């Protein structure tokens, strides 16, 4: 098991604990799809190339805003499983500071048990989505820091 540099943020930790209580991979997918359903509608005018996650087989979009030092994400995908992964990350990372997001590693996906049942392209997509969210958090941080 890889070392975890930081304890996981509470929301992400709760999500992972819930996944760990589910033993069947089919039920894990159902729980993942639950996150897809809970994602708020993504603004159509934000479905532009700059917001598209590269390296994903499906169309995935992520945007971030920062308010009072906390990052809020929005995301969408045209594929339900991928949309579930986006939803999981949005719920797990929302409200954290850019620094907290930058300190995370994507290895927590292994703790959900999803990594074993995700296809290689979906697993790769997950990492690409996570990296895009980290980049967005960093941009938010830099914008907030240097625009004052």
Active-site residue set: 56
Rounded Cα distance, 120 and 128, in Å: 12
Pick the closest to residue 91 from 16, 5, 3 (CA basis). Answer: 16
User: What's the full length of the chain, in residues?
Assistant: 148
CB 91 within 8 A of CB 133: no
DSSP 52: B
| Sign of CA pseudo-dihedral 81, 128, 66, 49 | negative
């Amino acid at each position: 098991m890889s070392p975890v540099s930081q304890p996981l943020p509470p929301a992400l930790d709760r999500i992972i604990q819930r996944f760990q209580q589910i033993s069947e991979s089919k039920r894990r997918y159902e729980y993942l799809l639950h996150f897809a359903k809970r994602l708020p509608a993504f603004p159509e005018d934000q479905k532009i190339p700059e917001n598209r996650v590269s390296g994903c087989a499906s169309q995935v979009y992520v945007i971030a805003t920062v308010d009072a030092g906390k990052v809020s994400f929005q995301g969408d995908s045209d594929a339900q499983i991928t949309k579930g992964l986006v939803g999981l990350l949005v719920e797990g990372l929302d409200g954290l500071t850019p620094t907290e997001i930058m300190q995370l590693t994507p290895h927590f996906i292994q703790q959900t048990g999803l990594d074993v049942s995700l296809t290689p392209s979906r697993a790769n997509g997950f990492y690409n989505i996570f990296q895009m969210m980290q980049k967005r958090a960093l941009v938010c941080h830099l914008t907030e820091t240097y625009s004052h």
